Structure formats: structure tokens, C-alpha cells
Structure 1
Amino acid sequence: MRSTTQVFATRHGQTEWNAKALLQGHQESNLTDLGREQSRLLGVRLNEEPLMAIYSSASGRALSTARLIAEPRGLTVSELPGLEEMDLGQWQGLSFADVAERWPEAHDRFWSAPLEFEATAGGESFHDLYRRAAKCLARISQVHAGECVLLVTHSLVLKALWLVVTGRPLEDFWMTDEFAPGGLTLLEHRQEWEVSILDDRGHLSASAAPIATNTGSMAPELSSRRSNPA
């Protein structure tokens, strides 16, 4: 057994709703041509990595991304409960402009005060998201100690995993930039967990189409509220 556990993690490829800046959450939206290309390029990026398993959320967009990476390697994709995107309840299918108009206070707390956010329109809290992300990572580290695996998940889950690994409080949820569709993050465990790669997008530059990094689970206005990790 190797002494280091490696967990590669990625956001699914771009979807039709990503391209329209609509909130997906637990709702479904198919990959676009660009999303499939992002998945293929990520698979090429991972060709030299000794992946032992590929896990995905149960969402169709994540499963499609995972299978595009797994099939050339002869691997099967396993669903891992807990990797699904944050449940946004009645916000799903809307734009953030619509959400701000209909639920202004909840919308403001979502961005400014994650600890105080309550899913008044259904869905889950940031606390719920954090707990299940931590549970997923603990499960992977137990089953695949000393191995290399890939998780195909969603942007908000990746943010929660970053908090878990870095030990930062929930108040820092928005400290990282939005995770790009098909970007690559590497979490490694030796004596403790650390973030070795954070949302690497270099492999995506091979795509002829521009890479969308401000759609999907995030609001367009996020660019004025986010900052790079310390």
C-alpha cells in the first residue's frame, strides 16, 4: 500500500442550464458539447494517474462526465451518496436574479452569511452540505487508504470539501473562486489532509470553445464577492 491517499475531484462538465445561468441543485440538465469535451480533456489529463476507482454523485450530469472518463480506462463508475449538489429547493431552475426578487433576505444570507442561511424555500443548509461532504471524504479515506481515486461532483460540494480539508470555518465558504466545469482538484492524505492542486484548468485550454467559469451553481455577481484562497 502506498503511504499517500490521493483523491482527485472535479466538477461535472458544462450543462445546458450552466450555459443559461440557471440553478440546478438536484434538478437535471444534460451536458453540452463543450461539457463533453471538458470531460474528455480531463480524462486525458488523468491518463497517467493510477486511478483505482471513480465515484460520482447520482446526478445525470456528473454520471455522464464520470463515464466519459471511466470507459476508456475500462473502469466502472460507482455512485456515492452525499456527492450530490446542494439541494436548493424552489430556487432550482431559476436564475439568481429571480431568487433575489422572490426571496431577497434568504438570497443575501446565502452569499453573505452561510452560517445563518436557512433554506426557506426548501432544500438544505450549508451545515448539511458540509457534514455530508465530510462524511464522503471520511468514507473514501477509509475504503481507499493509500490509493488514488476520482470524485465527480459539483461546485458547492467542492467548496465544502475544501473547507473540510483546510479546516476553515463555514464562514469562509465563498473564499475560493467558482470551480470550473472539468477543473481538477487534488486532495492528498499523508499525516493529514492537504490541498495539493486547486481547480487546475490547464488541460481545458486545448478546447476550441471558451471555458465558462461563472455559470451554473454560482451567480454572475459572485465575481464581486469572491477572493482567492489565502
Structure 2
Amino acid sequence: MPVVVNRPVTTHFYLCRHGQSEFNAKGILQGHLESPLTELGKSQARTLATKARKWNIQHIASSHLGRAQQTAEICAQSLAVDHESSAHLAEREFGQWQGQSINNFPEYSHFQQHCYQQLDLPAGNEQGYGETTIAVRQRMHNALHSLARSRQHIIPRDHSDKTILIVSHGDALACLMSLFTAPLLVNNTHGFKLTFKQNTLHWGGFID
């Protein structure tokens, strides 16, 4: 049973990329397009759930896109916790680039090299379709703040902190990462940890 307390609660976030999707396997830029998990992706999600048992996960939040929801649902069933989805945790919207193979795609390669420094550089094409890095990381940042504050005065009796698993996407996670350290695209079901304390997110390092 939960207990009501008056002091602030520290929230630990484990942020992970979804399992391998069919588009991942084919080297296709997904963005907001739908692509289900491969059998390998489902296996990766089960492995993530096993690993997450030692993190004392109390809740799971994911992107609303299918590949992230599939990964989160596998974890939620294994861990016996609730799962919610949110568009604020979705992948970057890549405009007209979505659905294209990233092989021999110089526009996307150039964008990847510069988008975390030129935060207002639009994805998709030169007319500005698609999201900027600053837009993606702001919605991700806001989503975590909202989750940390949600029912913040209620904690389990046997645990002083909240611990939430976030299932999102490679580029979206890199955008958020750029607030704390040099961003990189993490592998499927890998990620990093953030801690929300005193109304601020703090970098907690990479997780395998």
C-alpha cells in the first residue's frame, strides 16, 4: 500500500530505445511511420525486462508509436507494472525523409553531423518539414518533468524513490541526451539513466 509523505520524492528514469523493428533491420528511416518489432526485437524486449527487474521499476511510459509500445508492453507484462504511452516520447518527425533507406542518403548523414549543434536545423527537407533538435528535446524534457511530478507525494512503503522505465527512440533519446553530454544513437534496448531531484534532471550515465 502507498504511503503519503510531505517531502519531495526523487525519481529515477531508465530511458531505453525500443527493440529492433522491421525498418531497423532494413535500414529505413522511420520517424513517425509504423514498423513492428522483428522476432529479434521481441527477444531484445524480453531481455530488457529481465534486466529491468533489478531496477525496481514501478511504472513504464513509452512513445505512442507501435514499436515502442510493443517493447513496453512486453516489459510491463513481465514486471507486472502499469504502462502508459505518450506522443511526447515519440521519435523525431523526419518529414519527407521518412520511409527512405539511410544507405547512400547524404542529406540525412549531413543532418546527423550537425543537428545537435544547430538546434534549430529542421529535419525532412530545406523547406523546414520535420522537427528540430530543440523541439524534440523540449517535449522529451517536459514529459519527464510531468511524470516525475505526477503523484509525487505518494511512494511505496518499501521504497523511498520512484523508478520509471521510459521506452522511446534512438534519435529522440539522442536529442534529450544532448542536454547533458555528447549525444549518440544508442543500440536497440540500450539507453541511459536520469534522476529528477529538486525539480531538475541529472545525468546518471549509460546503461547496457
Aligned to 1:112: 114
Work out whether residues 109 and 116 of structure 1, in 8 Å CA contact, stay in contact via their aligned partners in 2. no
**CA apart distance, 1:107:** 5.4
Work out whether residues 60 and 82 of structure 2, in 8 Å CA contact, stay in contact via their aligned partners in 1. yes
**CA apart distance, 1:89:** 1.1
Aligned to 1:196: 204
**CA apart distance, 1:123:** 1.7
**CA apart distance, 1:3:** 4.6
User: 1:116/1:83 Cα in 2 relative to 1: closer, same or farther (>3 Å)?
Assistant: closer
RMSD: 2.2
Q: Flag structure 2 segments of 5+ consecutive residues without an equivalent.
A: 153-160
Whether 1:143 aligns to 2:150 is yes
Aligned to 1:227: none
For 2:151 and 2:86, locate their aligned partners in 1 and report how far apart those are by CA, in whole Å: 13
Q: Flag structure 1 segments of 5+ consecutive residues without an equivalent.
A: 169-174, 202-230
Aligned to 2:186: 179
Q: Could you list the runs of 4 or more consecutive aligned residues of structure 1 that deviate by over 6 angstroms after TM superposition?
A: none
Residue type of the alignment partner of 1:10: C
Alignment of 1:92-171 (within 5 A): 92-97=98-103, 99-100=105-106, 104=107, 108-113=110-115, 114-119=118-123, 121=125, 122-143=129-150, 145=152, 146-164=161-179, 166=180
Residue type of the alignment partner of 2:162: E
Q: 1:49 aligns with which of 34, 55, 65?
A: 55
For 1:138 and 1:144, locate their aligned partners in 2 and report how far apart those are by CA, in whole Å: 12
- 1:182-223 alpha-carbon deviations (Å, 9 max, x no partner): 11421113344322231x22xxxxxxxxxxxxxxxxxxxxxx
Whether 1:13 aligns to 2:28 is no
Q: TM-score, normalised by structure 2?
A: 0.80
Work out whether residues 186 and 197 of structure 1, in 8 Å CA contact, stay in contact via their aligned partners in 2. yes
For 1:25 and 1:110, locate their aligned partners in 2 and report how far apart those are by CA, in whole Å: 14
Bigger strand fraction: 2
For 2:91 and 2:102, locate their aligned partners in 1 and report how far apart those are by CA, in whole Å: 16
Work out whether residues 18 and 168 of structure 2, in 8 Å CA contact, stay in contact via their aligned partners in 1. yes
For 2:205 and 2:84, locate their aligned partners in 1 and report how far apart those are by CA, in whole Å: 23
The percent of aligned pairs where both chains have the same amino acid is 28
Q: TM-score, normalised by structure 1?
A: 0.73
User: 1:10/1:81 Cα in 2 relative to 1: closer, same or farther (>3 Å)?
Assistant: same
User: 1:49/1:110 Cα in 2 relative to 1: closer, same or farther (>3 Å)?
Assistant: closer
For 1:144 and 1:182, locate their aligned partners in 2 and report how far apart those are by CA, in whole Å: 27
Aligned to 1:219: none
- 1:150-209 alpha-carbon deviations (Å, 9 max, x no partner): 110001121122233x2x6xxxxxx333211011421113344322231x22xxxxxxxx
Count of residues in Structure 1 that have an aligned counterpart in Structure 2: 188
